[in-house]
Amino acid sequence: MQASNQPYCPLCTSINLCGVNDTTKPCWCTLEKVPEALIQRVPDAEKGKSCICQACIKKFNLVGEDNFTAL
Ligand SMILES: [Zn+2]
């Protein structure tokens, strides 16, 4: 995946702690499985540019798709 220049989660706009710009170690986002339905929530302009943060993935997995609301 191309390195992101945007350190913010596109869903909650918190710092996503993505490490794709850190070439010394792989980012957690390359290991974590991001639900397809969650990726669908990323605005088209942001897709492939910024990582969804771990908090949003965890929240999504906890509450399920129906009740999920991006903050
Ligand atoms: Zn987030």
Q: What is the pLDDT of residues 18-45, one digit of tens each?
A: 776 667 777 777 777 888 888 899 999 8
Task: Decide if 8 contacts 51 (C-beta within 8 A).
Answer: no
**Separation of CA 8 and ligand 1 centre (Å):** 8
How far apart, in whole angstroms, are the C-alpha atoms of residue 68 and residue 59? Answer: 8
Domain total of the chain: 1
- CA 35 → CA 5, 22, 26, 41, 60, distances in Å? 22, 24, 19, 10, 8
Q: How far is the CA of 43 from the centre of ligand 1 (A)?
A: 13
23 Cβ neighbours under 8 A, 6+ residues apart: none
When pLDDT is cut at 50, 70 and 90, the band that residue 1 belongs to is very low
Q: Which residue has the tokens 């220049």?
A: 5
Q: Which domain holds residue 64?
A: 1-71
**Ligand 1 centroid vs 45 CA: distance in angstroms?**
16
What predicted TM-score, i.e. pTM, was given to this entire model?
0.65
Separation of 3 CA from ligand 1 center, angstroms? 18
